[in-house]
């Protein structure tokens, strides 16, 4: 449908929906011939997706998997900033932690601890402990 619309219009057409990684981004662009992509859910907990897709579209090569430790540092810094400016509720923190840990290996016990946490400090402690243990540092971004 998007390809047909693109043929009829002279304005830029943006595709969205189910773009979750570099390969699906390339597929959507090739299939639809659209001018750009819009990414939603795939970016939640994975802000690196934009850099990864851009690199792949430009160079036709996948970036190596990112460092899980760096991601943990980023989420901990993000949470601290949100707390500092009172922009995060306890339930928001739980949800963002789940998104951040989505599709990570060997992390089920950590998600269970977060689910059982009673306050923000507990969740921060769980994530900090995870950072210190360096669970699965080769996890993909």
Residue 67: pLDDT band (50, 70, 90) is low
Contacts of residue 44, Cβ cutoff 8 Å, sequence gap at least 6: 96, 99
For 16-25, the pLDDT digits (tens) are 999 999 999 9
Mean residue pLDDT of the chain comes to 87
Alpha helices in 14-140 (DSSP H): 22-32, 49-59, 68-84, 90-101, 108-116, 120-133
Largest CA distance in the chain: 55
Domain match, 54 and 74 both: no
Domain match, 25 and 55 both: yes
Domain match, 48 and 82 both: no
Domain match, 40 and 82 both: no
Across 33-42, average pLDDT: 94
More confident residue, 47 or 6: 6
Number of structural domains found in the chain: 2
In this structure, is residue 141 part of a structural domain? no
In this structure, is residue 139 part of a structural domain? no
- What is d(CA 135, CA 87) in angstroms, rounded to the nearest whole number? 28
Domain match, 28 and 10 both: yes
In this structure, is residue 36 part of a structural domain? yes
In this structure, is residue 102 part of a structural domain? yes
Cα 7 to Cα 1, 2, 126, distances in angstroms: 10, 9, 51
Domain range for 34 is 2-59
Contacts of residue 40, Cβ cutoff 8 Å, sequence gap at least 6: 16
Cα 68 to Cα 11, 39, 107, distances in angstroms: 40, 22, 12
In this structure, is residue 22 part of a structural domain? yes
In this structure, is residue 81 part of a structural domain? yes
In this structure, is residue 104 part of a structural domain? yes
Domain match, 20 and 75 both: no
């Amino acid at each position: 449908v998007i390809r047909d619309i693109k043929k009829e219009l002279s304005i830029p057409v943006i595709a969205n929906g189910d773009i979750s990684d570099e390969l699906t981004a390339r597929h959507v662009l090739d299939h639809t011939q659209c001018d750009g992509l819009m990414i939603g859910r795939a970016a939640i907990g994975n802000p690196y997706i934009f850099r990864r897709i851009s690199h792949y579209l430009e160079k036709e090569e996948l970036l190596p998997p990112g460092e899980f430790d760096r991601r943990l540092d980023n989420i901990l810094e993000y949470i601290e900033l949100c707390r500092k400016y009172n922009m995060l509720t306890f339930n928001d923190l739980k949800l963002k932690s789940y998104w951040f840990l989505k599709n990570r290996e060997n992390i089920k016990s950590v998600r269970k601890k977060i689910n059982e946490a009673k306050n923000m400090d507990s969740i921060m402690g769980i994530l900090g402990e995870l950072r210190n243990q360096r669970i699965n540092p080769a996890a993909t971004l």
